Amino acid sequence: MKKYDLNVAAPTDGRYQNLCSDVNEIFSEHNLIKTRVKVEIEWFIFLSNLKGVTSLPPFSNSQIKFLRSIYLDFNSADSAKVKKIEDVTKHDVKAVEYFIKEKIKKNKHIYKYKEHIHICCTSEDINNVSYALMLQNARARVIIETDVLQKKLKSLGKKYKKVSILSHTHGQPASPSTMGKELINFQKRLVDQILSLKNIKIKGKFNGATGNYSAHSITYPSIDWPKSIKRFLSNLKLELNTHTTQIEPHDYIADICNKINHMNSILIGFSQDIWSYISKSYFTQKNIAGEIGSSTMPHKINPINFENAEGNLGMSNALNHFFANKLTISRLQRDLSDSTVLRNLGLTFSYSIIAYKNLLIGLDKLQINKDKINSDINDSWEILAEPIQMVARKYQISNSYEYLKKFTRGKKVNKDTIHKIIESLNIPELEKDYLLKLTPKKYIGYAIKLCDE
C-alpha cells in the first residue's frame, strides 16, 4: 500500500512523492549536506596528492578509504549532527567543516592536518560543486524517464503506422495522416531534446572569494592553480568554468532549465493532442476496476493522466523560466539571492518526472478505436479536393483551386461528388483512373514510411 505524508504542503513531498522520490532524495537537505561533505573530503585528498602542497603529506590508501567512508557511510544521524552544529554557527558550510574535523579525531595522523580541510576555499566553492554533482544525477533521472517515454511513443508509432486518421488543421478536417506518424512526430522531437540535454556541460569553479585564485596563489605560489583545479573538477566529472566571480554564474543551469522547458513544452502539446484524440473517441481508455471518473456521472473515464501531465509540465516550466532568468544575475562579485533559489531546483525536476510518469500511465490505458477513426475519415471525401486540384494544376487547368473550391468549400461532399469532379477534368485517362481509385484513407503520402525512419 502506498504511504503518504499528509502533513506537508508541497505535493511533490506528499500526494506525488511515490512518483518522484528519487529526485526528492537527490535534492534533499540530507543529500545536500552529504554532497558538501564529499566535496570537502575529495578536496582534502586531492591536496594531499598535489605536488607543491608541502605542508600536507600524501595519505595512504587506508587513510583515503577512511576519509571517503565519512561521506560514503553518511547517514541521517550525521546530517542531524551537521544541522545541530549549524544551529550554533548559523553557517551551513562551516558546519560541514566542523563536522569533518570531529569525525577525523579518531585518526591521529589525519587529524594533525585538520586545518587543511577547507583551506583556500570559500563556501561557494563547496556549494557550487555540490549542486553541480546533484544536477548531474537529476539530469540523468530526467534522461532515463524521457528515454522510456520516447521508446513508448516509438513502439506505439510502429504499431499504429498504418492506421489512417483524419487530420485536423485549425480544428477542421484536413489531409489525412496515420496515428503512428503523429506519435512519431513527437518521438523524434523528444529524441532531439534528450540529446541536447545530454550535451550540456555541467561546470564548477573552485577559485576562491572573487574567482582569482588569490588565496591559492599566496598559500602555495608554486602551483599552477587553474590547471590543478581543472584536474580536481575533472575527477568529479565536471568541467572547469575558467572565469567567474565568487559564484559560478549558473549559465549551464539556465541551459538545463531552458532545455527541460523546451522538452516539456513539446510534451504539453502532446498531452493536449492525446486529450483531443480521446475526446474524438479515436482512442478509448481502459475501464480499470474500482476507478471513478466523476463523483456524479458514473459513465465517465476521464483523461486524467494527460491532464495531470499538462498541469505538472506547466508548473515545471514556470519554475524553469524563473530559474533561468534569476540564477544568471548576481550583484558585483556576488550576492546571496541565488542561494535560497538554488534550494528549490529539485521542484522543477520533480514536477517534470511526475508528468512523464503520468504520460506513461495514460498511454498504457489507451486503446485504438478503429471504428470511430474509419467512420470519420470515410465520411470526409472533401479532403480529396487537395490532390485533385494539384493534378489539375499539373495539366495547366486554369483556376484549378477556384474550381475545386466551388464544389467543396463549406459543403457536405461525398464519393459521388468527388468522382463527378474528377470526370469533369480535362486530364489524361490514366490520371483520372488513378484519382478515381483514391480514397481518403489512402491519401497519406509517406506517412507509413516516415514511421520507419
Domain parsing of the chain, residue ranges: 17-121, 124-369, 380-450
Cα 445 to chain centroid distance, Å, stands at: 33
The residues annotated as belonging to the active site are: 170, 294
Computed over every residue of the chain, the mean pLDDT equals: 96
How far is the C-alpha of 39 from the C-alpha of 118, rounded, in Å? 10
pLDDT-based confidence at 2, cuts 50/70/90?
low
Check residue 265 and give its pLDDT: 98
Q: How many alpha carbons lie under 13 Å from residue 24 in its C-beta half-sphere?
A: 14
Render pLDDT for 61-116 as a digit per residue (tens, 0 to 9).
Answer: 999 999 999 999 999 999 999 999 999 999 999 999 999 999 999 999 999 999 99
Q: Are strands 164-169 and 172-178 parallel, antiparallel or unpaired?
A: antiparallel
What pLDDT does residue 23 have?
A: 95
3-state secondary structure of 203: strand
- 226-238 pLDDT, tens digit per residue, is 999 999 999 999 9
Residue 314, φ and ψ in degrees, nearest 5? -65, -40
Give 18-60 as a DSSP string. Answer: HHHHHHHHHTSHHHHHHHHHHHHHHHHHHHHTSTT-TTSPPPP
| Cα 310 off chain centre by | 14
Q: Which fold has domain 124-369?
A: Fumarase C; Chain A, domain 2 (1.20.200)
Confidence of residue 1 (pLDDT cuts 50, 70, 90): low
Give the chain's length: 453
Q: Which three cell numbers stand for residue 119?
A: 583551506
291 or 204: whose pLDDT is higher? Answer: 204
> What is the per-residue pLDDT across 430-445, written as a single tens digit (0 to 9) for each?
999 999 999 999 999 9
The CATH architecture to which 17-121 belongs is: Orthogonal Bundle (1.10)
What distance in Å separates the CA atoms of residue 352 and residue 314, rounded to the nearest whole number? Answer: 9
Residue written as grid cell 537529476: 138
Question: pTM, whole model, 2 decimals?
Answer: 0.94
Averaged pLDDT, 258-286: 97
| Distance from C-alpha of 323 to C-alpha of 31, rounded to nearest angstrom | 21
The CATH code of domain 380-450 reads 1.10.40.30
